[in-house]
Amino acid sequence: MQRRHFLAGALVPAALGASSGLKVGCQTRSYMAPNRDRAKLTGMLDDIAAAGYTGVETNYISVEESFANPAPMRGELAGRGLSLIGLHMGIPWEKAELMDAALDTFHRVVKGTSALGGTHVILSGQAGGEALKRKCEMLPKMAATCREQGIHLAIHNHTEEALDNWREFRYILANTGPDVGLLLDAGHAIMARQDPWAFLREFPGRTAGLHLRDRTPEKPVLMGKGHLNLKGLGQAIRESKWKGWLIVELEGYPLDGVSGAEGVREARRMIRAHTGA
């Protein structure tokens, strides 16, 4: 990968706009979540809404206390004009002895996501060798569980899944059906020295959302200062006619004197400038 392929370039026309079907959300991890503190979480929601986002993603730990009584949290979201994109959880695919407990948690998260009005359960966790085969056997069943609750399953990549031209993700796509979607993380793609937008062009129909943050392969940086090619993102969206969630997920804040809240606001401005969304 050459640096010029990931450097942000000139702005694209804002005409892409709302008619494109793009939606822009924020992962609360941008504020160093998950956080069980209700007041801190609602403060994050205030800031996310004020910055112009329309959706929010968070780790299930942040809201699991609301699973039994979801109405108040649904009200907190609706009152700010936010929709719940989904809840994120990790799965220890390579540790068979932990899978029963993980599946119990998964079923609880699926029901909790649905109860809170969310649309996706997002899973992360690398799996190689036999664990990858087991993962591909289990994912369609997990997707069916989500579908029964009226929501969707999406698999999130870390760096390992993007290595060697997305070897692990390609294996998953080849061995599962369309009910198993992707949440493509551009930051981890940069760390793996892969082009996320080439992958998006190849699999737009399987990609539910994109995680956006800027970094070099070595460290996180301020949006626009690293290898995140926002101009290329706009081009890939237009060429593939992709529609889905653009989700800001910053890391390393405060970064160079910039707080998470300031980073979230600047990221929203830059996404609007480069994609029109």
Could you give the C-alpha distances from 189 to 163, 216, 275, in angstroms and in order?
A: 8, 10, 20
Quick check: 17 pLDDT over 90? no
Which two tokens mark 72? 């108040």
Quick check: 255 pLDDT over 60? yes
Quick check: 15 pLDDT over 60? no
Instruction: Read off the pLDDT of residues 179-205 as tens digits, 9 standing for 90 and up.
Output: 999 999 999 999 999 999 999 999 999
Q: Of the given ranges (72-76, 141-145, 251-255, 256-260), which has the lowest mean pLDDT?
A: 251-255
Question: Angle 36-39-40 (CA atoms, 0-180°, nearest 5)?
Answer: 65
Cis before 204? omega within 30:
no
pLDDT at 36: 83
pLDDT at 7: 31
pLDDT at 253: 80
User: Exposure pattern of 38-48 as b/e (b: 16+ CB <10 Å)?
Assistant: eeebeebbebb
pLDDT at 21: 79
Is-above-0.85 flag for pTM?
yes
What distance in Å separates the CA atoms of residue 18 and residue 28, rounded to the nearest whole number? 23
Q: pLDDT class for 20, splitting at 50, 70, 90?
A: low
pLDDT at 200: 97
Q: Of the given ranges (32-36, 94-98, 100-104, 257-261), which has the lowest mean pLDDT?
A: 32-36
Quick check: 266 pLDDT over 60? yes
Residue of higher predicted confidence among 84 and 38: 84
Mean pLDDT of the chain: 91
By the 8 A CB rule, do 28 and 35 touch?
yes
By the 8 A CB rule, do 82 and 48 touch?
yes
Instruction: Read off the pLDDT of residues 196-250 as tens digits, 9 standing for 90 and up.
Output: 999 999 999 999 999 999 999 999 999 999 999 999 999 999 999 999 999 999 9
